[in-house]
Amino acid sequence: MVLETSVSFSCSDDALQQVYDEAERKCLLNLKRFGDDLVLVEGGGYEKIWLETQPMGGEMYALRNLEAAKNNCLLFMRHQRQDGRLPGSIQLASGVVEPQFNKYQGFCFPYPALSLYYLLGEDRDFLMQLRDCLRRFDDCLWRTRDSNGDGLLESFCVYDTGEDLALRYGDAPCWWTEDTPPEGYSVVPMASMDVMSWSYACRDTLVLISRILGDGGEEAWRVKAAQVARALRQGLWDERRGACYDRDKNGHTVDILCHNTLRCMYWGALSAEMAERFVKEHLLNPKEFWTPFPLPSVSVSDPAFRNAPENNWSGQPEGLTYQRAILALESYGYHTIVTRLGEKLLHAIAAGGCRFTQQFDPFTGRPSLVHAITHQPVSEGSGEPVQDAYGPTMLAALEYIAHRWGLHPHLGQVWFSLGSGMEYRCDAAFYGHRYSIRSDGRHAEISTDGRLLGRYACGQRLITTAGGQLIGTCRIEGPAGGR
């Protein structure tokens, strides 16, 4: 049984309403047919579905188009190789759907796929397909990406972790089609915090799947996930500096302070204590990652930082990082930081004329203008087509609004986020129910299926079951460092 989904939002803040409306309108441009399947492509000049963006992007779009959300996961599962490897991207070329295995291209997949299980009406067949997919993918990683047997999984090329032009990769190839490690390069095969975290995310999600299915595997997967987390801490976490660092092929630390420890939080691979150190010592440090427009890919104090406007993961904040930061921070209880990041992003988009670009200047917050096709820098008024409708930035904007003043489905729970400061209304349908918020900016009334659940002060989030039973609350407004 596939359930109806929908969402609408209106508010008294004209600038915010324009951002919301434009994001909704431009997201429609990224709905494409890949053969018989409707999918949501990345957009902004990227016409494929990528493993690092589109399962996550589809899940964030699920209240608007559940069919595309489901296909953005199913296509990767459908094209999984016999050996367990998932395609890093899938394209439509001359009418033919083609999976591409020339990079891993990140892995923002397990959580979005599990979330869809609930949105699809707790589809048991889908869940068992996901279980098989994650098992096989995890096996593939450990069979092919621990080439020296040190217990640390490796990245073989720049696009494995989707970090185009990242200086920390040195002379590494952009692509790598083989499952054997490249030779003759200075950095790769590189022991990778990202790839280690992919395995953790597989195993941690399999814990939850086993619990739901009652298949008896829950404890075994919990032990296996803990093994990965322990290896990550022992091998790639620097206790003195409070962050993760990758290691090159010779075991030497790649001494660049990059934002990727936040990615590890997205996959849940860090302990609460490790996450707290990175957040307090680095993420909220204005000399590193908490710039006027936060979340540069590399600390602005690091010699490897480059304030380059093109798609360059050695520098400017990326819409994709803002998209991933929501789950990364909320999973560890940093809800007020998510609110602050949302304020920064939504203001920058509004100030930039509701143009949804891939990157932003960390010091001014101005959207970085690049050519719509070549992604090379262009000037305003040059007459060249400028990138817009970049999916991760649009979906991040919609998601930050939902997590501040709206409704959000979370693994069978319903999050009513009651932000303050303006009048707003949000209505949504999912899990077979209809939910609503009516707020004057100081207090909000929340309802399930037309039944009033209560009137609450703004500034907090109410967490309920699908049927409307209150199960928890948390603060979403307050100091950026609050948990």
Tens digits of residue pLDDT in 9-19: 999 999 999 99
Tens-place pLDDT, residues 228-270:
999 999 999 999 999 999 999 999 999 999 999 999 999 999 9
AA identity, residue 172: A
Q: What angle do CA 416, 321, 474 make, to 5 degrees?
A: 25
Q: What is the pLDDT of residue 178?
A: 96
Q: Is residue 482 over pLDDT 60?
A: no
Look at 238 and 383; give whichever has higher pLDDT. 238
| pLDDT for res 3 | 83
Banded pLDDT at 380 (limits 50, 70, 90): confident
pLDDT tops 90 at residue 481: no
CB neighbourhood size of 204 (10 A): 23
Q: Which of 107, 386, 423, 147 is nearest to 267 (CA)?
A: 107
| pTM, to two decimals | 0.97
**85-137 confidence digits (pLDDT tens):** 999 999 999 999 999 999 999 999 999 999 999 999 999 999 999 999 999 99
Q: In this predicted structure, what is the pLDDT of residue 381?
A: 84
Distances (CA, A) of 18 to 26, 145, 216: 12, 46, 50
Confidence of residue 1 (pLDDT cuts 50, 70, 90): low
pLDDT beyond 80 at 171: yes
**In this predicted structure, what is the pLDDT of residue 483?**
54
- Residues 138, 173 contacting (CB under 8 angstroms): no
DSSP string of 364-380, one letter each residue: T-PBPPBBTTT--B--T
Give residue 323's identity as a one-letter amino acid code. Answer: Q
Q: Angle, to 10 degrees, between the axis of helix 391-405 and the axis of helix 14-27? A: 130
Per-residue pLDDT at 387: 95
Q: What is the pLDDT of residues 386-438, one digit of tens each?
A: 999 999 999 999 999 999 999 999 999 999 999 999 999 999 999 999 999 99
Output the pLDDT for position 479: 82
Cβ-contact 252, 190 below 8 angstroms: no
Least confident of 323-327, 378-382, 422-426, 447-451: 378-382
